[in-house]
Structure 1
Amino acid sequence: MDAISPLPSRTSTVVSTPRKNKAGRPKRSRFWRMLKALFVTGFIFTVLAAGWFFLIPSGIEYRYMLADSLITTQHREWAKYLIGDKALKERVAVYAARFEEMGTERDTHTIPAIPVVSKQTADPEEETQPLTSIEEVDGDGYHGYLLTVRDPKKVRLVVPIKRGRGEKVSSMVKRTGAVAGVNAGGFSDPNWKGNGFKPIGLVISQGRIFYDGLGGKKSVQIVGIDKSGKMIAGNYTIDELMEMGISEAVSFSPRIIVNGKGLIKSRKEGWGVAPRTVMGQREDGAILFLMIDGRQPGYSLGVTLYEAQEIMLARGAVIAANLDGGSSTVLVDDKGLIVNKPASAYGERYLPTAFLVFEEPSTVQVPNIWAGMKPSEIDAGG
C-alpha cells in the first residue's frame, strides 16, 4: 500500500489545476465584456452628443452661445474651434453692426428736476433715503450686485492720477473719498497685457473732453450723464454731446434699453455669457449700476446682455447701456473694499476710467492726465 499511495496525490493535483483555470477564465471574460460595453456606450454617447451639438437646433444654439462667450474673453480666437474661423469673423461683424444699430433711436426719456441738497443744507429732522444702496442680485447660474444712486448729479467720471498706467477703482475711491465706484469705459489692451492707460473712444469729465480717440470718426456710442443728471446713451457726435450739456461720459456699447423698452429680443442674441457691468436710469432719475460676476463655476458664470437687460427692466430702468465687463467688472464700497468677485486671475485691473459717487462732487478735482498727448503717442502695452 505504501508503494502505490503517492499515485492518488498526483492524480488529485492534476485534476485541481484545470478547476483553477476554469474559475479564472470567466472573471477575465466578464472584465473584457464590461470594458467593451463601456467603450461602445461611450462611443454612442459621443456620436449622439456630437450630432446634437452640430445638427440639432438647440445644440447649435448652445454651441454659438459658447462661441459668443469666448469672443468676450482674451481667448477670442478659440471660438473658431467651435464655429470655424470664417463664422467667427462674420459673427463679430454682425454683432458690431447690430450694436451700432441699437444706438440709433433717439432717447426721449425725461427725469424730474433733482433738487440740490447737501449735508449742510439738509433738514436733520427730515427722513431721507441714503444716497446709495447695494443689493445682491441672483438668478440661474449667476450672482451679482446692484448699486442704486438716488441723485444722478452725484456721479463723476474719474481717471488715473499718474500718466503711463491706469488705476484700480479701489484706489480711485480711497484717493478721492468717494462713496462708491464702478468700472466704466474700455481701453486698448494689446496681447491682453495692456496697462489700462489708453482709453477707447471718448472720455468726458466735468463737461470737458479729456481724451479723443475717435480718429476721424464723426460719431461714437457713449454712456454718460448730462449736467441735469439725465443719463445719455447711444450714437452721438461730439457737437451733439456738447449741445446736450454732457457732463460725464465714456465710449462703450451696446445700449440695451431705450425709451423704456429692451432692444435685445432673446437670450440667443445676448452675445454670450460673461461678467457684465451695466449702467441705467429709472424714471425718477436714480442711476442703476449692475455688476454681475462670471467665469467662476460654482459661484457665478455670468449673464448674456439679454439677461442683463431683463434685470434692469425689472428694476425700472427706462434707459440702460453696457459698460466694459469681463475681468474689468468691479464694485467698490465707501471703504475702498471690493464688494464683488472680479473674474481676473490677477486681481483687480488697472483701468482708465471709473464712475464714482460723491456726497459733494463739486469739491472733487479730476485732472486731465492725457492733456497734450496724442493717442498715437500713448503706449498701451503692459
Structure 2
Amino acid sequence: MEPRSLPARNTVQRNSSKKRKKKKKKRGFLRFVFRMFMTLMVLGAIGAVWLFFTPSGENMRYLAADTLITTQHRHWAKYIIGEEELKKRVAEYNARFEQMGEEKDTHTITRPATTKTSAPKQLVEIEEVSGSGYHGYVMTVNDPTKIRLGVPGKRGKGEKVSSMVKRLGAIAGVNGGGFADPNWKGNGFKPIGVVISQGKLYYNGLGNKESTQIVGIDKDGKMIAGHYTLNELSKMKVQEAVTFQPRLIVNGKGLIRNAKEGWGIAPRTAMGQRADGAILFVVIDGRQPGYSIGANLYDMQNILLERGAVIAANLDGGSSSVLVKDNEIVNKPSSEYGERYLPTAFLVFEHPEQVDIPNIWKGLNPKDIDPGKKK
C-alpha cells in the first residue's frame, strides 16, 4: 500500500508549487502596475511643471488653445488657459486681424505679354507642398480674369464645391468665404459679411456695419484684400469677393510676425497674387495624424511669399478647405462627413463670359435666413 500513497503526496506538492507561482506572478504584476502608476504620476507632475512654469510649456499651452479656438471645440481651450484668458485671446486676435487689414494696398500687376511664338501657359497648375506637420497643394491660376465666384444653385442650403464645379462647368474650384454655422451644423446658406459675384452685390449681411474685410478680384484681375466699405468696393470695380480675414501679405511684406502669432494649427485655405497677376490658392489638409496635422497662418504666409505673392489673405478653413480640379477632389478634406455645404467658392473657367450664376439670395432678408435649418 505504501507505494500507492507516494503519487498523492507528489500531487499535493505540485499543486502547492503552482499556487506559490501564481501568487508570485500576481505580486509581480501588482508591483509592475504600482511602478507604472508611480512613473506616470512622476511624469505627469514633471509635465505639469513644464506646461505651467516654463516659457516653452506656456507656448505649447497657447498653441494647443489657439488650435482648439479654430474648431467646434473652442470652449475646451478654457481648460488649458482659463476662461478669462480665452476671451482675452480671442479679442486680441480679432483686434490684430482688424489692424492687419488697414494698411493701404498699392500693389500693381503687370500681366506678361503674349506673342505668336511664346508657348501659352496652362490656365491652372497644381503642385504639392509640405512642411513640418502639414501637407497640401498650391493651385496657380495664370489668368486672374478667368475666376468667378460660385454660389449655391438652390435656396435654403449651401452646395459642395465639387458640385458647383460640375454644375457650372468650371475647370477648378476652391472654397471661399465663411458662413453662419451654429454648433458646427450649419446648412451653409447664410454667408458672413458680403458676397459679390460678376460685379454685383449678391448678399449684404453687414447690418449696421459700414465696412468689412474682403478677399476678391477687381475687373482687371487685380486681387483686393483688406478693410473696405461697400462704396469703396463699388468705386474699385470689385468683381468677385467674399468677407474673410486676416490679410496675410500687403505690398509684398508678411504681416504675421512669427509662428506664435499663427493662430494655431488647422486645415487652411488662402489666396494670394504675384506681381505678374497669377492668383495662388493654397489648400492645406489637417487633423489627420500620419498624413497632415495642419498649418498655422505663418506657414501659409511663407508658402505664398516663397512663390512671389505680393498680396494674400486667409479664406475659410477647417473642414471647409477643399480643392477640386477636373471634377476630382485633389486634397483630403478633414470633415468626417465628407465635403461641407458652403455658400461660396472661387471657380476657374475657360470661358467665364459664358457662365450664368444667378443670385440665389435675391429678395431674401439676411435676418430671415435660418443658418441651421436643413432643407
Normalising TM by the smaller chain, what interval? over 0.9
2:231: which partner in 1?
239
Q: 1:17 to 1:173 in 2, by over 3 A?
A: closer
Q: Give the aligned partner of residue 356 of structure 2.
A: 365
Which residue of the partner structure matches residue 196 of structure 2?
Answer: 204
Letter in 2 for 1:79: A
TM-score (norm 1): 0.91
Change (3 A) 1:114 1:362: farther
- The residue aligned with 2:160 is 168
Alignment partner, residue 319 of structure 1: 311
1:138 match: secondary structure: strand
Which of 168, 171, 178 does residue 170 from structure 2 map onto? 178
Q: Secondary structure at the match of 2:215?
A: strand
Give 1:252's match in structure 2, choosing from 239, 244, 255: 244
The structure-2 alpha-carbon separation of the partners of 1:34 and 1:166, relative to structure 1 and needing over 3 Å to count, comes to closer
Give deviations 1:279-301, integer Å, cap 9, x for gaps.
Answer: 00011110000000011111111
Q: Does 1:261 align with 2:259?
A: no
Q: Counterpart of 1:40 in structure 2: which amino acid?
A: M
2:90 alignment counterpart: 92
Match of 1:55 among 53, 56, 75: 53
State how 1:332-351 maps to structure 2 within 5 Å: 332-334=324-326, 336-351=327-342
User: What is the aligned length?
Assistant: 371
1:114–1:151 CA contact under 8 A, matched in 2: no
Alpha-carbon distance in structure 2 between the residues aligned to 1:222 and 1:9: 96
- What SS does structure 1 have at the residue aligned with 2:242? strand
If the length of structure 2 is used for normalisation, what is the TM-score?
A: 0.92
Alignment of 1:278-317 (within 5 A): 278-317=270-309
Partner AA of 1:273 in structure 2: I
Structure 2 segments unaligned to the other structure (5+ residues): none
Give the CA deviation at 1:36: 2.8
Instruction: For 2:99 and 2:263, locate their aligned partners in 1 and report how far apart those are by CA, in whole Å.
Output: 15
Give 1:60-99 correspondences, 5 Å limit: 60-99=58-97
1:109 to 107, 110, 114: 107
Q: For residues 27 and 280 of structure 1, do their structure 2 counterparts lie closer, same or farther at Cα, with a shift above 3 Å needed?
A: same
Q: Distance in 2 between matches of 1:370 and 1:23?
A: 78
The 1:126–1:80 alpha-carbon spacing in structure 2 relative to 1, beyond 3 Å, is: same
Match of 1:128 in 2: 120
* Structure 1 residues 363 and 44, CA gap change in structure 2 (3 angstroms): same
Deviation at 1:58, TM superposition (A): 1.1
Task: State the distance in 2 between where 1:154 and 1:177 align.
Answer: 13
Partner in structure 2 of residue 352 of structure 1: 343
Q: Residue 291 of structure 2 aligns to which amino acid in structure 1?
A: Y
Runs of at least 5 residues in structure 1 that lack an aligned partner in the other structure? none
The residue type equivalent to 2:44 in the other structure is T
Note the alpha carbon deviations across 1:158-182, whole angstroms, 9 max, x for none.
1111111111111111111111100
Tell me: CA distance 1:28–1:161, structure 2 relative to 1, closer, same or farther (3 Å). Answer: closer
Q: Show the counterpart of 2:218.
A: 226
> 2:42 matched to which residue of 1?
44
Deviation at 1:27, TM superposition (A): 4.9
Residue 44 of structure 1 deviates from its aligned partner by 0.7
CA distance in 2 between counterparts of 1:367 and 1:82 reads 46
Check the 8 A contact 1:201/1:213 in 2, yes or no. yes
- Larger CA Rg, structure 1 vs 2: 1
Identity of aligned residues (%): 62
